[in-house]
Amino acid sequence: MQITRRSALSLVGATLATPALAATADSPTAPAKPASTPYTQRSIGSPKAPVTAHEYFSLTCTHCAEFATVTMPKVKPALVDTGKLQIIYHDFPLDQVALKAAQVARYLPAEEYYPFIEALFSSQNDWAFQPGEDYHASIFKYAALAGMDKATYETAWNDDKLAQFILNGQQEAEKMYNINATPTFIINGKTYPGAMAYDDFAATVAQAAKG
């Protein structure tokens, strides 16, 4: 079973609204540009791998967290690190919290992206589902551990252009590939919805490698 997209982006926006920093380009507190552009591909594994898996995920999806914490610890050493598989990540936020977290993740250097989202998935219940949670503050705790300073964090959080880029990608996935749930995988062109167990995922990758 997987979570379908919720129409909550507008419902929780008010709870997440925080004032943007007043820093300007000439201000000493203005954040530096991120080391890697937030708009470039986020992936792990060799681009020369015989199998490519596109993962559509939401950082507040419990089934995505299950795949990240149960299946991925086996997938990465066995399939990704051995050159058999490349995983390309696509944001498919189910709510405003996931959207903000995705924005922050994309402001980290590309090599820090995967460790950061894995950390968020591992601690999802701590920052995503607590009653009365201050999402702005709780997500920053993990961003800071990943090396992000507060000024960059505020820039990421308030980057409306990046938010629209993510939402445009989500809409495109819905229209072009009929993605309507998370997680969903497109592996060598074939769509597989749901958080697969390792044996099923590995078998799917092996079959895809055969063509």
What are the residue ranges spanned by the domains of the chain?
42-209
Phi, psi of 198 (to 5 degrees): -60, -45
90: Cβ–Cβ under 8 A, 6 or more apart, which residues? Answer: 54, 55, 56, 57, 169, 173
Assign 28 a pLDDT band (cuts: 50, 70, 90). Answer: very low
From CA 82, how far away is CA 193, in angstroms rounded?
Answer: 25
Mean pLDDT, the chain, integer: 87
Say whether pLDDT at 121 is over 60. Answer: yes
Residue 121: enclosing H or E segment and its boundaries?
Answer: helix 110-122
Q: Does the pLDDT at position 138 exceed 80?
A: yes
Q: Which residue has the higher pLDDT, 51 or 35?
A: 51
Lowest mean pLDDT among 22-36, 91-105, 120-134: 22-36
For residue 3, the cross-strand partners are 182
pLDDT, residue 39, reads 97
- Mean pLDDT in residue range 154-180: 97
Q: Judge whether residue 21 has pLDDT over 70.
A: no
Q: Could you write out the DSSP letters of every residue in 86-101?
A: EEEEEE--SSHHHHHH
- Which pLDDT value is given to residue 15? 38
Q: In angstroms, what CA-CA distances link 33 with 17, 25, 99, 103, 107?
A: 23, 10, 20, 14, 9
| C-alpha span between 152 and 198 (Å, rounded) | 36
What's the whole-model pTM score?
0.84
State the residue for tokens 């997209």: 5
Tokens, residue 132: 């009365």
Looking at residue 207, its amino acid is Q
**CATH topology for the 42-209 domain:** Glutaredoxin (3.40.30)
**Beta-ladder partners of 52:** 86
145, two tokens: 């551990």
What's the pLDDT at 91? 98
